[in-house]
Amino acid sequence: MQSITPKELIKNNDKSILILDIRDSNTFHDWHIRNSENIDVYNDIWEGNFESVKQKLSKLPKDKKIVTVCNAGVTSQNASMLLESMGYRTKVLENGMIGWNELNLQFRQKDVS
């Protein structure tokens, strides 16, 4: 399983990438990466409901590279492993939304300086 840093993702213009946020819909609506898609499988993964996870994720396009996103990058590793077992190409966003926000905070601080 490969990973991608927030900096690499923000600079990437690859149209074949789909950013998949696996957190619950309320958290997603409060805090997410622009143009990402949300399929809530977070609790299913933690509860070990892997067949449910596979069923929910099976509607994703196979011609896209899927970047999985969660809060800290841990649960999205499990989502990526399940997707890869289903024939998808994936990467995990390092440090999840925490890493994404740290990078965006750095950019904002540079703009203010």
> 97 and 9 in contact (C-beta within 8 Å)?
no
Q: Which domains does the chain have, with CATH numbers?
A: 2-112 (3.40.250.10)
Better-predicted residue by pLDDT, 109 or 22: 22
Element (H, E) at 3: strand 2-4
Q: Name 96's Cβ contacts closer than 8 Å, sequence gap at least 6.
A: 69, 70, 71, 72, 73, 74, 76
pTM of the model: 0.90
Question: pLDDT, tens digit, for every residue of 39-88?
Answer: 999 999 999 999 999 999 999 999 999 999 999 999 999 999 999 999 99
Element (H, E) at 91: strand 89-93
The torsion angles phi and psi of 70, rounded to 5 degrees, stand at -140, -160
